[in-house]
Amino acid sequence: MFEIKVKTNFSAAHNLRNYRGKCERLHGHNWVVEAAFHYASLDSVGMAVDFKVAKNLLKKVVERLDHSYLNELKFLGRVNPTSENIAKFIYECVKKKNRHLKAVSVWENETSCATYTEG
């Protein structure tokens, strides 16, 4: 099994609803998003997937979040814009374009990450 990972980033603001603490106030992050793809075999060139292709898939979704106030984005629905829900949203969008996607991790900072995977 081959695992291919790509990263991108975006900047956005949010505040957590129904939360007691600093994060209930408006604040922002420079988020890092990592997507992991699993392939059982390689193509004729010897690649599971071209990094450029995988990066573009991830980037197209993340561009919808960049420089926004996440609480106001209609396509996120009514979910609280936590790292967990953002990871799930990105996963579902990318998975529609590439069935080999296995996980999406969203980093709020260097020490805090949420990962979504099915199962």
Cite the active site residues: 23, 67, 108
Q: Please name the amino acid found at residue 21.
A: G
CB of 4 within 8 A of CB of 37? Answer: yes
Q: Are 55 and 67 in contact, with CB atoms under 8 Å apart?
A: no
Q: How many CB atoms lie within 10 A of CB 39?
A: 15
